[in-house]
């Protein structure tokens, strides 16, 4: 998926307690240099790293709740 000046910008939607939603198709480069791609019209990218399908979100972030810091 080469980028060119004629390509329309991709929309990325940030959710406070969830994944990044990216209009597809997308190609993601992982830390080790591996490229993974999806041709879906929208993908959810995991930001919590709990997903078994990382970098794709599998909603694992919903299972864990943060402990309250209040006494």
Tens digits of residue pLDDT in 33-62: 999 999 999 999 998 888 898 899 988 877
Say which residue, 14 or 60, is predicted with more confidence. 14
| CA gap 44, 30 in Å, rounded | 15
How far is the C-alpha of 71 from the C-alpha of 68, rounded, in Å? 8
Mean pLDDT across the chain: 83
- Dig out the tokens for 33 from the structure: 């240099």
pLDDT score at 34 = 93
Is the pLDDT at 21 greater than 70? The verdict is: yes
**pLDDT computed for residue 37 by the predictor:** 93
Asked if residue 36 lies in contact with residue 55, where contact means CB atoms within 8 angstroms, the answer is: yes
Q: CA torsion sign, 41 to 56 to 30 to 18? A: positive
DSSP 61: G
pLDDT at 8: 78
């Amino acid at each position: 998926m080469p980028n060119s000046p004629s390509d329309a910008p991709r929309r990325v939607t940030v959710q406070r307690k969830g994944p990044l939603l990216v209009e597809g198709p997308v190609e993601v480069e992982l830390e080790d240099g591996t490229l993974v791609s999806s041709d879906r019209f929208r993908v959810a990218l995991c930001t919590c790293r709990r997903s078994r399908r990382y970098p794709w979100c599998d909603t694992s972030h919903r299972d864990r709740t943060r402990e309250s810091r209040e006494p």
